[in-house]
A and B are shown apart, each in its own frame.
Chain A
Amino acid sequence: GIQVEQSPPDLILQEGANSTLRCNFSDSVNNLQWFHQNPWGQLINLFYIPSGTKQNGRLSATTVATERYSLLYISSSQTTDSGVYFCAVDVGDDKIIFGKGTRLHILP
């Protein structure tokens, strides 16, 4: 089946820093989503981005479907950005497969 790999697995940054998270996938996909799981376990959908670039405040995402990767950019990090960031790809019938996530810890 399709493989979804995320890097880096862990990231520790000082508040105010910028970061780039990467998601590689092994086959063509219908769409790709980025999620943030906060320390309380709630999953929040950040972007639905099968291709192209989207921006939402300090966050932006770019997916290059032809090269099978997506990037999530976080600028001017805040402590509330801490948590785990997952990318997930649609493998058909609305079923999505998750990567293993990037655990981000922002230090005050």
Chain B
Amino acid sequence: AQSVTQLGSHVSVSEGALVLLRCNYSSSVPPYLFWYVQYPNQGLQLLLKYTSAATLVKGINGFEAEFKKSETSFHLTKPSAHMSDAAEYFCAVSDQPGTYKYIFGTGTRLKVLA
């Protein structure tokens, strides 16, 4: 069965520092992978998605993620953190063509320190 693991429920970085949020998936077939962000009191917003095209995916707000099949990973990065990046981030996987069911990770809350 497919699953998603997000390492670190809370991550703190200094403003201007590299952001790295980890996501590992388990899937028997090539997956579709997603990163969503949830700002306080708001719904989830899609940051980026991988759909078997380029392995390096660029998203909104300067975020990007790289699909690494050998490591079954899809880590989210941003070169320089901004205060406005403070939010909760969710990784999700869908590995069945034609399915609409995403499996979500438990989320990582990012804190940006001034």
Do these two chains really belong together in a complex? no
**A interface residues with partner B (beta carbon < 8 Å):** none
**B interface residues with partner A (beta carbon < 8 Å):** none
